Amino acid sequence: MQIALLGNPNTGKTSLFNSLTGSYQYVGNWSGVTVEKKVGSLRNGRDDLIDLPGIYSLNPLSKDEAVVSNFLLHESFEEMLNIVDASQLRRNLNLTIPLLEFGKPMVIGLNMTDVAKLRGIRVQEDYLSEELGVPVVPIIARSGTGIEFLEDELYEENAWRKPFKLDYGMAVENAIAALVKLMPKSFSAKRWLAIQFLEENRAVENFIYSVANESLLCKIRSELEEKLSKPPAIDIQDTRNKYIEHVIERVTIREKISRVTLTDKIDALATHKYLGLPIFLLLMYVMFMLTFNWLGFPLSDQLDRLFSGPLTSGLEELLGMIGASSFIHALVLDGIVAGVGGVLVFVPQIFILFFFISLLEDSGYMARVATVMDRVMQAIGLNGKSFIPMIIGFGCNVPGVMAARTVEQPKERLMTILLTPLMSCSARLPVYALFVGAFFTQNQAFVVLSIYLLGIILALLLAKLFSKTIFKQEESFFVMELPPYRLPQWTSLWRSTWDKGKGFVRKAGTFIFAGSVFIWLLTYAGPGGLDVPMDESFLALIGSSIAPLLAPIGFDNWQSSAALLTGFLAKEVVVSTMSIIYTVPDGTLQEVLATSFTPLAAYSFMVFILLYIPCLATIAAINKETGSRKWTLFSMAYALIIAYAVSFSIYQIGQWFIG
Amino acid sequence: MNLMDLELGEHAVIKDMSRMNKWLQQRLIQMGIRNNSKIYVKNRLPFGGPCMLDCEGQCLSIRNKDARCLEVERLSCK
Ligand SMILES: Nc1nc2c(ncn2[C@@H]2O[C@H](COP(=O)(O)OP(=O)(O)O)[C@@H](O)[C@H]2O)c(=O)[nH]1
């Protein structure tokens, strides 16, 4: 059996999905985290639960929301699970009613009952169940309270569910009856289809215009509009509102409680007139210090010592014992251990960064950041909401680009997608870490922070430029729900951190593993045969053909050109490549690097790495999200041009200063 | 009067939303905000930044230019 999970954003849908399916999913707090279609199998092993994006209404106002209407129109499923936030009943029922009209068996999970209680709202589930004619189970999705009862209801074939029918008044009902006759025979929820059509649901219109007579349908709707002397959608909404008020009146008991909640207190600080922005910057600073100086580097150091010490010597012994050839010996130690190990040592830093991003998302702070930043973003032709994809982009550009879907205005969305890759993702981190470790030991975090800031500043400048030239602005709007602050749960935090971070580990096992072997082979073989000196290898050959181009920006050695080429696959491969190229019997990679770059060239190189091109996976995401090859190519081209220009300026001006 | 005329924390009810941007109006309606909903301004961000509203127990933020299109009526008591 297929069960669809539907509900408003921020109602705990993802938490419920996780506790019902026991699968690892991504849990977040800002409307827009659940963008992909996810299917999990329920614990009885027979039924599937399909997670749909959180929506306020079936009538899609953005691309994201059309997913649900299209799902109802085109997919087959047997049952609906509607999650309803007990503390926001009015808004939630606004979605429940059209879902009930769809006519499939439904179970309501009444969530956030703890929050409602704190606010002095008690929802009597038995009355609600009686009103709506479907089972209602009170739950607390976050702690798993009541989940067993919800499961029982889901699996049971209830005989007493009564069909739901709200009377919209004579005029509307007559129009519905007339429309139903015109609806395709094969579609069972004809009344629902008719009502949604009257409500001008765009996804439904698209569907029925392809199977029924458009002009007849529209004639009925415009005649109704004349009769009502207002759009039918408004009249239908009015009827629903009245009904919802009636239901709320009947099922809720309100107790008096004190008005100032914890959320209000935190908001007084987080969105304070003058302190809001400094607080955000301070949090970012702490996040970076923890990721780098305070926690990340020491941990990476330990790991590095483990790899280069016990692990390498252990493997060496093992290879000696089984009598491996010198080829295998070199492949394993110089290729795989150097390449994969060089990237893996940065796992602690990346997980710390992802942990903080998950924390920001889960706690509800992200929505405040969007609000605080809206004024600045508006000034450069973007939207406060564009800020969130960009922050996510610090973790990884791919989910960042995908999160741009929640920006409703098409041009702002496109700009957000194009600019998110300028946010320095965690895969670029190993490269910086390597270089600051070699050249800027005194102020590691500061230098890395300057690179991150450079990315942000460039994004802001380019946004301004783009919105003045390519994207002449249409009317822009901003509305952001600010969910109450919630203390994230450790398990769900860990899950979402792991969910984001595991991609990195997996990449190390597959992509980077294969890449390392390939790159190593290119260094091992050359026109002169196998086991040639590094400088006569194929990689050196390829690298040196590009090197002259890079001389003006500070690094004309073939090694860095080769590393940049391979970095297109994934930015951290740059580190693998360098680890392989610069393998030396004694001394660390960083010591060797110190002899091939000047500090200025190293900085220029880091800037180039930041900007020069989105990685392969990001480009695929951009292509998917924009649906346009033109914009995908644009995203690559402008990055390359900017990277060259900025690195060029830094290197040339820097040299002039140094003399 | 519109939402911008309210003092912080001053309670009011919504009287007319029809002057708002059509899209925004629809979104607010979807969120259960409509005529006669109780509303108050929680916070205004500086430099003409968005204002944070509380409407029937839910909190959201909109821009000033849109807030100006939201007609409200002051509630006498409280
Ligand atoms: N107090 C409380 N918090 C909950 C409950 N269910 C979910 N949450 C929290 O609400 C936040 C949003 O939940 P999430 O599952 O991401 O909601 P979604 O946006 O609807 O998918 C998370 O911080 C959850 O931990 C609940 O029943 N009670």
Interface of A with B (CB under 8 A): 56-57, 59, 61, 87-88, 90-91, 94, 119, 237, 241, 263-264, 267-268, 271, 273-274, 276, 371-372, 374-375, 378, 384, 408, 475, 477-484
Tens of pLDDT along A455-498? Answer: 999 999 999 898 888 777 667 788 888 888 888 888 778 877 88
Of B47, B48, B66, the CB nearest to A477: B66
**Chain A to chain B, count of Cβ pairs less than 8 Å apart?**
95
List the one residue out of A315, A340, A327, A344 whose CA is nearest residue A521.
Answer: A327
Residues of chain A with CATH 3.40.50.300: 1-262
Structure-block tokens of residue A288: 């970076």
Residue range A148-161: average pLDDT? 79
Tell which atom from ligand 1 comes closest to the C-alpha of A18. 15
- Which residue from B minimizes the CA distance to A200? B26
Beta strand pairing status for A79-85 and A2-7?
parallel
Q: Is A53 close to ligand 1, i.e. is its CB under 6 Å away?
A: no
The separation between the first and the last C-alpha atoms of chain B, rounded to the nearest angstrom, is 18
Q: Look at residue A647 and tell me whether its pLDDT is greater than 90.
A: yes
Tell me which of A5 and A285 has the higher pLDDT. A5
Beta strand pairing status for A2-7 and A48-51?
parallel
In angstroms, the Cα distances linking A497 to A351, A492, A501, B60 are: 7, 8, 6, 28
pLDDT band at A528 (very low <50, low <70, confident <90, very high): confident
pLDDT band at A63 (very low <50, low <70, confident <90, very high): low
A489: DSSP letter: P
- Provide the pLDDT for residue A24: 46
Just give the CATH number of B3-74. Answer: 2.30.30.90
Q: Which chain A residues have a beta carbon less than 8 Å from that of B40? A: none
Q: How far is CA A41 from the centre of its chain?
A: 23
Strand partners, A38: A51
Backbone φ, ψ for residue A41 (5° rounding): -95, 135
pLDDT band at B77 (very low <50, low <70, confident <90, very high): low
Q: Which chain B residues have a beta carbon less than 8 Å from that of A483? A: 59
Q: What percent of chain A has pLDDT over 70?
A: 95
Just give the CATH number of A1-262. Answer: 3.40.50.300
C-alpha span between A451 and A469 (Å, rounded): 27
Of A263, A375, A477, the CB nearest to B47: A375
Q: Is A111 close to ligand 1, i.e. is its CB under 6 Å away?
A: yes
**Three-point CA angle A600, A440, A344, nearest 5°:** 110
- Provide the pLDDT for residue A108: 95
Q: How far is A479 from chain B (nearest CA, A)?
A: 5
Q: Is A138 close to ligand 1, i.e. is its CB under 6 Å away?
A: no
Q: Is A9 close to ligand 1, i.e. is its CB under 6 Å away?
A: yes
Q: Is A8 close to ligand 1, i.e. is its CB under 6 Å away?
A: no
Tell which atom from ligand 1 comes closest to the C-alpha of A489. 25
Q: How far is B41 from chain A (nearest CA, A)?
A: 12
Q: Which chain B residues have a beta carbon less than 8 Å from that of A87? A: 57
Determine how many CB atoms are found less than 10 A away from the CB of residue A181. Answer: 11
Tens of pLDDT along A331-346? Answer: 888 778 877 877 787 7
C-alpha span between A633 and A12 (Å, rounded): 39
pTM exceeds 0.80: no
C-alpha span between A391 and A366 (Å, rounded): 9
Of B31, B34, B52, the CB nearest to A371: B52
- Which residue from A minimizes the CA distance to B56? A88
Tens of pLDDT along A225-274? Answer: 999 998 999 899 999 999 999 999 999 988 766 666 778 888 888 888 78
pLDDT band at A585 (very low <50, low <70, confident <90, very high): low
Q: Look at residue A505 and tell me whether its pLDDT is greater than 70.
A: yes
The separation between the first and the last C-alpha atoms of chain A, rounded to the nearest angstrom, is 74
- Provide the pLDDT for residue A316: 87
Q: How far is B45 from chain A (nearest CA, A)?
A: 5
Q: Is A12 close to ligand 1, i.e. is its CB under 6 Å away?
A: yes
Beta strand pairing status for A252-254 and A121-123?
antiparallel
C-alpha span between A198 and A639 (Å, rounded): 47
Tens of pLDDT along A356-376? Answer: 888 888 888 888 888 888 888
- Provide the pLDDT for residue A23: 56
Structure-block tokens of residue A547: 């090197």
Tell me which of A377 and A633 has the higher pLDDT. A633
Tens of pLDDT along A164-199? Answer: 899 999 999 999 999 999 888 888 889 999 999 999
Residue range A535-545: average pLDDT? 88
Which amino acid is located at A157 in the chain? E
- Provide the pLDDT for residue A646: 95
Q: What percent of chain A has pLDDT over 90?
A: 27
In angstroms, the Cα distances linking A209 to A71, A98, A184, A213, A474 are: 17, 21, 11, 6, 29
A140: DSSP letter: B
